[in-house]
Chains A and B, each alone.
Chain A
Amino acid sequence: MKRSPVFLITVLCFGFAFFYIPILSMMVYSFNDSRLATVWGGFSTRWYETLLSNRQVGAALLLSVQIALISATCATILGAMAGITLARFRRFRGRTFFSGMVTAPLIMPEVITGISSLMFFIMLGQWIGWPGQRGFTTITLAHITFSMVYVTTVVHSRMLQMDRSIEEAAMDLGSRPWQVLKDVTLPVISPALLSGWLLAFTISLDDVVITSFTTGPGATTLPLLIWSKVKLGVTPDINALATLTVLAVGFCVAIAGVLMNRAERRRLADERLAYQANG
Chain B
Amino acid sequence: MSVVAQWFNRRGWRDLIIGLPYLWLVAFFLLPFLIVIAMSVATRTPTAPPFGYGGDNPAINLEGYRRLLSDTLYLRAFVTSLMNAGTATLLCLLLGYPMALGLTRVSKGWRNILLMLVILPFWTSFLLRVYAWMGLMGRNSWFNQLLTDGWNWLVPTAWAVNSVPMMHTNFAVVLVMVYTYLPFMILPLYANLERLDPQLDEAAMDLGSRPSRVFLDVTLPQSIPGIIAGGLLVFIPAAGELVIPTLVGNSASPMIGRVISDEFAQARDWPMASAVAVALLMLMVLPTMAYSHYQSKAEHREDDTP
Contact = CB atoms under 8 A, between A and B. Distances in A.
A and B together in one complex: yes
Interface of A: 1-3, 5, 7-9, 11-12, 14-16, 18-23, 25-26, 29, 36-40, 78-79, 81-82, 84-85, 89, 92, 94, 98, 101-102, 104-105, 107-117, 119-120, 122-123, 126, 141-142, 144-145, 148, 152, 176-178, 181, 202, 206, 208-209, 223, 226-227, 230-231, 233-234, 238-239, 241-242, 245-246, 249-250, 252-253, 257
A38 B140 contact: yes
Interface string B99-128: 101110110000000101110111111111
B182 A19 contact: yes
B28 interface: yes
Contact of A11 (B99, B241, B257): B99
B35 A116 contact: yes
B58 interface: no
- Which has the most chain B C-beta neighbours within 10 Å: A101, A227, A241, A252? A101
Contacts of A257: 116
A67 B247 CA distance: 25
Given A85-B21, A202-B122, 7 more contacts: A78-B24, A79-B21, A105-B29, A108-B284, A202-B123, A241-B128, A249-B124
B21 A116 contact: no
Contact of B36 (A20, A29, A39, A115): A115
A46 B143 CA distance: 24
B29 A12 contact: no
A223 B127 CA distance: 7
Given A12-B103, A141-B28, A178-B9, A78 B20 contact: yes
Contact of B131 (A26, A101, A120): A26
Interface in B165-207: 179, 182, 198, 205
A25 to B, nearest CB: 6
B124 A112 contact: no
Nearest to B95: A15
Contacts of B298: none
Contact of B17 (A81, A202, A239): A81
A117 B134 CA distance: 30
A89 B14 contact: yes
Contacts of B135: 22, 25-26, 29, 37-38, 234, 239
B253 interface: no
Contacts of B32: 113, 116-117, 119-120
Given A38-B138, A176-B9, A206-B126, A145 B116 contact: no
B240 interface: yes
B118 A102 contact: no
B133 A22 contact: yes
- Which has the most chain A C-beta neighbours within 10 Å: B16, B128, B130, B288? B128
Given A16-B117, A38-B141, A181-B13, A7 B129 contact: no
B28 A112 contact: no
A82 B105 contact: no
A15 B182 contact: yes
Contact of A22 (B33, B125, B129, B241): B129
B82 interface: no
B142 interface: yes
Contacts of B270: 119
Given A5-B105, A177-B8, A208 B127 contact: yes
A242 B124 CA distance: 8
A147 to B, nearest CB: 12
Given A15-B99, A177-B9, A119 B36 contact: yes
Contact of B138 (A21, A177, A234, A250): A234
B79 interface: no
Given A11-B99, A16-B117, A81-B20, A115 B277 contact: yes
B240 A111 contact: yes
Contact of A250 (B8, B120, B241): B120
Contacts of B116: 253, 257
A222 B296 CA distance: 42
B132 interface: yes
B29 to A, nearest CB: 6
A8 B101 CA distance: 7
Interface in B5-45: 5, 8-9, 12-14, 16-18, 20-22, 24-26, 28-33, 35-36, 39
A119 to B, nearest CB: 5
26 contacts: A7-B98, A8-B99, A16-B117, A18-B95, A18-B182, A22-B136, A25-B142, A26-B128, A38-B141, A40-B142, A81-B21, A92-B18, A101-B22, A109-B284, A112-B277, A115-B260, A120-B35, A123-B49, A126-B49, A141-B28, A227-B127, A231-B246, A234-B138, A238-B131, A242-B132, A246-B124
B65 interface: no
A25 B201 CA distance: 41
A101 B2 CA distance: 33
